[in-house]
Amino acid sequence: VNTAPGTPHRHALSVHDAVAGVLAGDRTVLGRAISLIESSRAQDQEPASELLHRVLAKTGGADRVGVTGVPGAGKSTFIERAGLMACEAGRRVAVLAVDPSSAVSGGSILGDRTRMTRLSGHPSAFIRPSPSSGALGGVARRTRETMLLCEAAGFDTVLIETVGVGQSEAAVAQMCDCFLLLAIPGAGDDLQGMKRGVLELIDAAAVNKADAGNEQKAKLAAMELAGALHVMRGDSIPVLTCSALTGAGVADVWAAVTGRIAEARASGELTRRRHRQELAWLETLVAEGLRRVIDETPAARAALALAEERVQAGTVTASAAARAVLDAVRSQLAPSSAPSRAGSMPSTNGAKP
């Protein structure tokens, strides 16, 4: 059931076969289609984009659930248990991860895979480890597109684990319908290690590890967390307790998560949320693309290097330096419309009679 990311293409998969296989729910083809969209080879970009375009109409059908929490909070254990529950209820479950750090730290996804052995052996589950390298932007793109392929292949529940500390939370929040925080009790001043930003992104929370005599402590932590969330955000979200290890309370947490998604779907809020996410995603891609234009344009790259030097030396302001870089970009894109550096009106191709 598991498929390794970035597997080299044994035989190039035609877009036609990829589309047909994915739509038919063929796992082998799905795995290879995901490898195609994960590929950074230049010749794979066009077919990958074509593939996504052709399955687009069949995407969007899943409940998209993100799970976050500090390392060791029990995210993988929870996902395995909730995923199994969903499978047993007749759902088809795909598990993905956003792990921008795995290239550096290694191992965490391998660990996840071994820990999710029961789920990965289930015929209704598909577990895809995180793309194993790349900056957050690239990893987020691949996870988002993998999610779309899984939906096109008929998976109706997608669980995404955030791995690693950093900005992966924001990236996952931007691609899911419900973002669940797993907290743990007795981490003392609990709101502690949790970044305030994460608390603003979540839609539900559960205090995990409510077992082995820690049930009461977990309940207190849940009340404290609910109170803090209410003060900070001015709204109430469900904060429950559970034990991913024993399974106690997991069904209730899962019901709260899927219940919220069902409500949002019925009210139209889900559609609005996804539209907002799509627009934010579009902006991210455009911004990243512009940045790439700079990196790929020698004149712009040189202007940026010069700007950095001057800002560092304190000889120009950052805003003036940024303007110079953008001018360099513009003059490359459309030489005739670039504003003149002397501050005069742009000439109309310099060839007026």
Which residues contact ligand GTP (rule: CB under 6 A)? 69, 71-77, 108, 112, 115, 163, 208-209, 211-212, 243-245
How far the first Cα of the chain sits from its last, in Å, is 71
Nearer to Mg ion, 128 or 273 (CB): 128
Partner from Mg ion, ligand GTP, none binding residue 197, C-beta < 5-8 Å depending on class: none
Nearer to Mg ion, 35 or 130 (CB): 130
Nearer to ligand GTP, 243 or 331 (CB): 243
Nearer to Mg ion, 39 or 68 (CB): 68
Cα 125 from chain centre:
20
Partner from ligand GTP, Mg ion, none binding residue 129, C-beta < 5-8 Å depending on class: none
**Cα 159 from Cα 82, distance rounded (Å):** 9
Residue 203 near residue 90 (C-beta atoms within 8 A): no
Q: Does 190 bind Mg ion (CB under 5 A)?
A: no
In angstroms, give the least distance from the CB of 42 to ligand GTP: 33
Nearer to ligand GTP, 139 or 244 (CB): 244
Q: Does 112 bind Mg ion (CB under 5 A)?
A: yes
In angstroms, give the least distance from the CB of 230 to ligand GTP: 25
Residue sitting closest to Mg ion (CB): 76
Nearer to ligand GTP, 77 or 157 (CB): 77
In angstroms, give the least distance from the CB of 89 to ligand GTP: 21
SS3 string, the chain, reads: CCCCCCCCCCCCCCHHHHHHHHHCCCHHHHHHHHHHHHCCCHHHHHHHHHHHHHHHHHCCCCEEEEEECCCCCCHHHHHHHHHHHHHHCCCCEEEEEECCCHHHHCCHHHHHHHHCHHHHCCCCEEECCCCCCCCHHHHHHHHHHHHHHHHHCCCCEEEEEECCCCCHHHHHHCCCCEEEEEECCCCCCCCCCCCHHHHHHCCEEEECCCCCCCHHHHHHHHHHHHHHHHHHHCCCCCEEECCCCCCCCHHHHHHHHHHHHHHHHHHCHHHHHHHHHHHHHHHHHHHHHHHHHHHHCHHHHHHHHHHHHHHHHCCCCHHHHHHHHHHHHHHHHCHHHCCCCCCCCCCCCCCCC
Partner from Mg ion, ligand GTP, none binding residue 243, C-beta < 5-8 Å depending on class: ligand GTP
In angstroms, give the least distance from the CB of 181 to ligand GTP: 11
**Cα 154 from Cα 125, distance rounded (Å):** 11
Residue 160 near residue 105 (C-beta atoms within 8 A): no
Nearer to ligand GTP, 65 or 328 (CB): 65
Partner from Mg ion, ligand GTP, none binding residue 231, C-beta < 5-8 Å depending on class: none
In angstroms, give the least distance from the CB of 253 to ligand GTP: 11
In angstroms, give the least distance from the CB of 228 to ligand GTP: 21
Partner from ligand GTP, Mg ion, none binding residue 208, C-beta < 5-8 Å depending on class: ligand GTP
Q: Does 145 bind Mg ion (CB under 5 A)?
A: no
Stretch touching Mg ion by CB under 5 A, among 73-81, 99-107, 221-229, 238-246: 73-81
Nearer to Mg ion, 110 or 318 (CB): 110
Partner from Mg ion, ligand GTP, none binding residue 212, C-beta < 5-8 Å depending on class: ligand GTP
> What values do phi and psi take at 101, rounded to 5?
-95, -5
In angstroms, give the least distance from the CB of 41 to Mg ion: 29
Q: Does 76 bind Mg ion (CB under 5 A)?
A: yes
Positions in the binding site for Mg ion (CB under 5 A) = 75-76, 112
